Amino acid sequence: MSAISFQHVGKTYRTASGAVPALDDVSFDIEPGEFFGLLGPNGAGKTTLISILAGLARASHGSVKVLGHDVVTDYAAARRSLGIVPQELVFDPFFSVREALRIQGGYFGVHNNDAWIDELLANLGLADKADANMRQLSGGMKRRVLVAQALVHRPPVIVLDEPTAGVDVELRQTLWQFVARLNKQGHTVLLTTHYLEEAEALCSRLAMLKQGRVVALDRTSALLAGTASTMLRFKMDAPLPPQLAAQSRVTGRIVQVTAHDAREVESILGVLRQAGCEPEDLEIGRADLEDVFLEIMNGPPRSLGQRAVAA
Residues 6+ apart with CB under 8 A from 222: 308
Are residues 169 and 251 part of one domain? no
pLDDT of 305 strictly over 80 = no
Q: Is the pLDDT of residue 202 over 90?
A: yes
Q: How confident is the model at residue 216 (pLDDT cuts 50, 70, 90)?
A: very high
What is the distance in angstroms between the CA of the first residue and the CA of the last residue of the chain? 13
Report pLDDT digits (tens) over 226-248.
Answer: 765 677 888 888 888 888 877 78
Query: What total of structural domains would you count in the chain?
Result: 2
Task: State the residue range of the domain holding 247.
Answer: 228-286
Domain-embedded: residue 153:
yes
Is 257 inside any structural domain? yes
| Residue 196 shares a structural domain with residue 260 | no
Evaluate whether residue 302 is within a structural domain. no
Residue 155 sits in the same domain as residue 62: yes
Same domain, 200 and 255: no
Same domain flag for 168 and 67: yes
Residues 159 and 265 in one domain: no
Domain boundary among 205, 224, 243: 224
Residue 304 lies in a domain: no
Dihedral angle at the C-alpha atoms of 179, 182, 188, 191, nearest 10 degrees? 0
User: What pLDDT was estimated at residue 87?
Assistant: 79
User: 98 with 178, same domain?
Assistant: yes
Flag whether pLDDT at 86 surpasses 60: yes
CATH number at residue 217: 3.40.50.300
Q: What is the mean pLDDT of residues 212-236?
A: 85
pTM: 0.81
pLDDT of residue 311: 36
Task: Answer yes or no: do 111 and 260 share one domain.
Answer: no
Q: Would the pLDDT of 165 be above 80?
A: no
Q: What angle, rounded to 10 degrees, do the helices at 97-107 and 139-151 form?
A: 30
Query: Please, which residues bridge with residue 209 across strands?
Result: 214
pLDDT in the model for residue 188: 97
- Decide if 35 contacts 203 (C-beta within 8 A): yes
Both 243 and 148 in one domain: the answer is no
208 and 272 inside one domain: no
CATH of the domain at 233: 3.30.70
89 is a domain residue: yes
- Spatial separation of the C-alpha atoms in residues 60 and 42, rounded to whole Å: 21
Query: SS3 for the chain, per residue?
Result: CCCEEEEEEEEEEEECCEEEEEEEEEEEEECCCCEEEEECCCCCCHHHHHHHHHCCCCCCEEEEEECCEECCCCHHHHHHCEEEECCCCCCCCCCEHHHHHHHHHHHCCCCCCHHHHHHHHHHCCCHHHCCCEHHHCCHHHHHHHHHHHHHCCCCCEEEEECCCCCCCHHHHHHHHHHHHHHHHCCCEEEEECCCHHHHHHHCCEEEEEECCEEEEEEEHHHHHHCCCCEEEEEECCCCCCHHHHHHEEEECCEEEEECCCHHHHHHHHHHHHHCCCCCEEEEEEECCHHHHHHHHHHCCCCCCCHHHHHC
